[in-house]
Amino acid sequence: MRHRFLLMLMLVGLLFITVACADAPQPERVMASQLTSVTPNVLKAKPTPPKIRVTPAPVISVPTALVDTLVYHGSESRKEVALTFDDGPDIIYTPKILSILSQFNLRATFFNIGQHVAAYPQIARAVYAAGHTIGNHSWNHPLLTAMGPLQVLWEMQYTNQVIQQTIGVKPVLMRPPYGAINRMVHIQIENSGLLPIMWNVDSEDWKRQGVTTIVQTTLKETKNGSIILMHDGGGDRSQTVSALPIIIQDLEQRGYTIVPMQQLLNHSADVQTNPVEPATTPTAQPYVKSAGD
């Protein structure tokens, strides 16, 4: 009798434990409930873009007469020239060039590579804050004439987007890498809202043949309205940094005024309309990536 009573107590106890466990919340269901309530907030969260505090550079406006053209230089009747720098921004050489330009109170145009803007946004902002113009030089410096129209369009528009997100202003000017351009490339540049700017004086600083050679080459070729090509990125530009103040001083001694690109565009004389195949022969070296690229 006692044995039967104990057995009954055990059965009742087991039944009670089973019912209690069934009523308890399951760990899996609790976790799922927690994830359901948290996940939507995570997915809806958006990063806050950093505030860009810079002094705006003058806004470039393209004269109507220059639409559908290539600009090689300004008016030959005016003793004005413009300095341009390609392949930056560079973390080493661009700040040095900015310092030199500041010493002479000059404004230049920097044709930036999109990848470098993304890598060194603080340098791009410094260029813009100093009052210089930033132009589009493609995303990664390819030979655009060897690409398809959609690829060229992507190079232009993505670089536009990155530059605008970095400095707050969409570029208006564009220089094709190596100076290589044909009708297809020209069309895609214009479809991106850009004006192609070429040059008629190549300092050949990319050859790195010495400071004296860079200075002599530049001064020999410069004339009224010249657009001078130099580089602040794409490799070792220490010779360019050393040559720049000499070039500036000599040009000023010869009576030239170094002006912003906008002023040169207002009096631009040498333009080529609707370039066709074959592509313009490139004059610059194969691109060399900057340190840290």
The pLDDT of residue 40 is above 50: no
Mean pLDDT of 45-64: 46
Q: Give 88 or 276, the one with higher predicted confidence.
A: 88
The pLDDT assigned to 69 comes to 79
The pLDDT assigned to 290 comes to 43
| CATH code for the structural domain at 65-273 | 3.20.20.370
Question: What pLDDT band is residue 43 in, cutting at 50, 70 and 90?
Answer: very low
Q: Calculate helix-pair angle for 238-253, 93-103, nearest 10 degrees.
A: 20
The pLDDT assigned to 8 comes to 58
Q: Convert the pLDDT of each residue in 112-137 to its tens digit.
A: 999 999 999 999 999 999 999 999 99
% of the chain exceeding 70 in pLDDT? 68
With CA atoms as reference, report the closest residue to 179 among 203, 207, 143: 143
Predicted TM-score of the model (pTM):
0.75
Catalytic residue positions? Answer: 86, 231
List the domain boundaries for the chain.
65-273
